[in-house]
Structure 1
Amino acid sequence: MSEDDRAGEFGSIYLPALQRIRNLWLELEPLVEETLYDNVVAPTELQISLTDGLGDADTTRLDIQWSELGMYSFHYVDSEDRNWRFDRHPNTHSPEIHFHPPSDAAAVAAEPSCIDVTEVSLVTRAVHAMWRAAYENNDIEHLNSASNPL
């Protein structure tokens, strides 16, 4: 997520949340190939690589940030240059909790997110459930369409 996409405070990265997110993806998703932090000393992002992706994509990576203020970004990018993200942060173009749809996750295209929970485990489970539904149905329309994605 671009710093230009944010208006207002995002907060410092909260490592215990990234660790919880990592553990949940490892527990929930058999396609996880690798997880790593962008910096082992002072991580600012968790990266989760999957062995398959949506549609024709054969690899996928999720770049995840979670702050001490409960702000977050789950950014999906795959080998077909498809991007989308679920975000929670102050901005000038959409509600604080929003979704940037595929294919490029453009800041100006943000729409309200169907995720209305804010606890780290619940948000993670919701993002995973919607990704998994889109993957199994080969349909990106599943990404932000659930009324209760948990």
Structure 2
Amino acid sequence: MSDDDRAGEFGPIYLPALQRIRDLWLDLEPLVDATAYDDVVAPTELQINLSDGLADAESARLDIQWSELGMYSFHYVDSNDVNWRFDRHPNTHSPEIHFHPPPAAATTDAEPSCIDVTEVSLVTRAVHTMWRAAYEDNNVDQLNSASNPP
């Protein structure tokens, strides 16, 4: 996600949240291949690599940011260049908590998110639940369809 998608303060990255998100994905998802930070000294993003993706994608990656203000971005991209993301940040195009649907996750396509929770572990579990449902049913329409997951 580009910073110009945001209006208002996102806040500094909160490393303990990224560590918690990493640990949860490692515990919850057998398809996690590897995890890494974009910078070992001053991380701004957690990257989770998956050994499979939605539909016929051979692999996928989640790029995740979480700020000290509780703002976040869970951005999925796969080997077929399908993108989607769950975000929470101030902006001018949608509610603060929103979803950018596949295939492009375009800023102009943002819609209200089905995720109402705001605590890091609950948001992480909700994103995982939505991804896993879409993966198992091979249906991206399930990504933003639950009633207040997890």
TM tier relative to shorter chain: over 0.9
User: In structure 2, how many angstroms separate the alpha carbons of the residues matched to 1:148 and 1:57?
Assistant: 27
Give the RMSD, CA atoms, in angstroms.
0.4
Q: Do structure 1's residue 37 and structure 2's residue 33 form an aligned pair?
A: no
Checking the alignment, whether the CA contact within 8 Å between 2:34 and 2:49 is kept in structure 1 is yes
SS at match of 2:123: helix
* 1:38-117 map, 5 Å: 38-117=38-117
User: In structure 2, how many angstroms separate the alpha carbons of the residues matched to 1:41 and 1:4?
Assistant: 25
User: In structure 1, how many angstroms separate the alpha carbons of the residues matched to 2:59 and 2:30?
Assistant: 14
Deviation per residue, 1:17-74 (Å, 9 max, x gap): 0000000000000000000000000000000000000001010000000000000000
TM-score under structure 2 normalisation?
0.99
SS at match of 1:10: coil
TM-score under structure 1 normalisation?
0.99
SS at match of 1:61: strand
Tell me which amino acid in the other structure corresponds to 1:49: N
Between Structure 1 and Structure 2, how many residues are aligned? 150
1:7 Cα deviation from its structure 2 partner? 0.1
Can you give the 5+ residue segments of structure 2 that lack an aligned partner in the other structure?
Answer: none
Checking the alignment, whether the CA contact within 8 Å between 2:117 and 2:148 is kept in structure 1 is no
Which residue in 2 is equivalent to 1:21? Answer: 21
Which residue in 2 is equivalent to 1:147? Answer: 147
